[in-house]
């Protein structure tokens, strides 16, 4: 009973579903495309649609692909005004399909892979961007104590831990010398960043990780919480700002586009709106946070490249996508030099 197209062994999965997912009987399985991390599947059953998200098979980097953390944070946010899918069941028994996984409700809506929103009327684009910024601000205002996320991360020292973690992750997946990454690791380790207060952070907040209402300009689900933790919200925000610094061919970016002609807000507008919603006067260290975000995505893409070379990637284009990390690192290092390396 193996679904060859999706590499999910249904021998144990079918009875597990019947016992843990509303008595549902699986009718069909199809893989979602586009993801580079945890393979994700749409499960059609006699009880409706569900989504299964699993760890990739094979040898993984330490602490990567933590589907159990994704499940926990989304379950906790169900009582807040941050929109998330309904969590249904978590399975940490690798005997079922070969790795841990969880099941959540399927959310019907719009996902935009291209932030330029080419298929959206110009007059609607600004409202979608405003909804995205509002959702991130809501997340950063969540009382993580109140929703039971004590121990989900460590308060304080977030940036130092992140720089150390992603330096180690990069080294663990390094496949060839990359001088720009070497320089960034050294530069970032020497920065003294006055961190903001500890908040719940998503870690990968960008437009294509959001589901928008089918017809209205509002976010109805935030996806891909693999990197969520307790940390510095300004690092989370800078990761979103990164889209305004990278070109569309590099990593879902907007740099070089005529934003006014597209009806897309400028970076300055994004920053001002976020500060207003979160009660901040400004973000003086934004450039350093953005450089860190670019370093981190370069490290992540190096991991994608290594999984592609190892044959364990979640996407067929892993090699091509992974190679973009080198160019992002070079751009980040140039930015760091302008700040005074």
pLDDT in tens, 160-211: 999 999 999 999 999 889 999 999 999 999 998 888 799 999 999 999 999 9
Contact in structure between 82 and 139 (CB atoms under 8 Å): yes
pLDDT bracket for residue 221 (50, 70, 90): very high
122-340 to CATH, choices 3.40.50.10880, 2.60.40.1120, 3.90.1200.10, 3.40.50.2300? 3.90.1200.10
Question: Per-residue pLDDT tens for 116-132?
Answer: 999 999 999 999 999 99
Choose among 195, 262, 260: nearest CA to 230: 195
Structure pTM? 0.90
Q: How many residues does the chain have?
A: 341
Choice among 58-72, 158-172, 184-198, 257-271 with the minimum mean pLDDT: 58-72
The predicted-structure confidence for 207-219, as pLDDT tens digits, reads as follows 999 999 999 999 9
Structural domain boundaries of the chain? 2-105, 122-340
**Consecutive H or E run containing 201:** strand 199-201
- The CATH architecture that domain 2-105 belongs to is 2-Layer Sandwich (3.30)
Residue 199 to residue 193: CA distance in whole angstroms? 16
Share of the chain above pLDDT 70, in %: 92
Average model confidence (pLDDT) across the chain:
91
What's the pLDDT at 307?
78
Confidence band, pLDDT 50/70/90 cuts, at residue 135: very high
8 A C-beta contact, residue 55 and residue 67:
yes
């Amino acid at each position: 009973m193996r679904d060859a197209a999706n590499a999910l062994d249904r021998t144990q999965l079918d009875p597990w579903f019947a016992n843990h997912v509303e008595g549902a009987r699986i009718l069909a399985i199809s893989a979602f495309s586009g993801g580079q991390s945890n393979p994700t599947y749409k499960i059609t059953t006699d009880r409706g649609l569900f989504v299964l998200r699993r760890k990739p098979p094979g040898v993984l980097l330490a602490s990567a692909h933590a589907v159990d953390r994704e499940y926990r944070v989304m379950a906790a946010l169900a009582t807040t005004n941050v929109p998330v899918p309904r969590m249904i069941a978590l399975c940490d028994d690798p005997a079922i399909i070969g790795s841990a996984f969880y099941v959540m409700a399927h959310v019907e809506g719009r996902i935009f892979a291209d932030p330029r929103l080419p298929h959206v009327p110009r007059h609607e684009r600004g409202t979608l961007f405003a909804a995205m910024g509002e959702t991130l601000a809501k997340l950063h205002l969540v009382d993580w104590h109140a929703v039971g996320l004590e121990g989900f991360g460590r308060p304080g020292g977030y940036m130092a831990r992140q720089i150390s973690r992603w330096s180690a992750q990069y080294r663990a997946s390094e496949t060839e010398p990359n001088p720009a990454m070497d320089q960034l690791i050294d530069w970032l380790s020497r920065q003294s960043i006055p961190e903001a207060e500890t908040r719940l952070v998503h870690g990968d907040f960008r437009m294509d990780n959001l589901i928008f209402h089918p017809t209205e300009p509002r976010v109805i689900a935030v996806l891909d919480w693999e990197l969520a933790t307790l940390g510095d919200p300004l690092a989370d925000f800078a990761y979103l700002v990164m889209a305004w610094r990278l070109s569309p061919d590099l990593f879902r970016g907007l740099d070089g586009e005529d934003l006014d002609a597209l009806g897309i807000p400028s970076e300055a507008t994004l920053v001002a709106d976020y500060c207003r919603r979160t009660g901040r006067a400004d973000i003086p260290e934004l450039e350093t946070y953005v450089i860190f975000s670019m370093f981190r995505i370069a490290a992540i893409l190096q991991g994608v490249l290594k999984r592609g070379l190892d044959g364990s990637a979640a996407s067929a284009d892993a090699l091509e996508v992974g190679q973009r990390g080198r160019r992002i690192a070079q751009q980040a290092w140039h930015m760091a030099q302008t700040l005074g390396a």
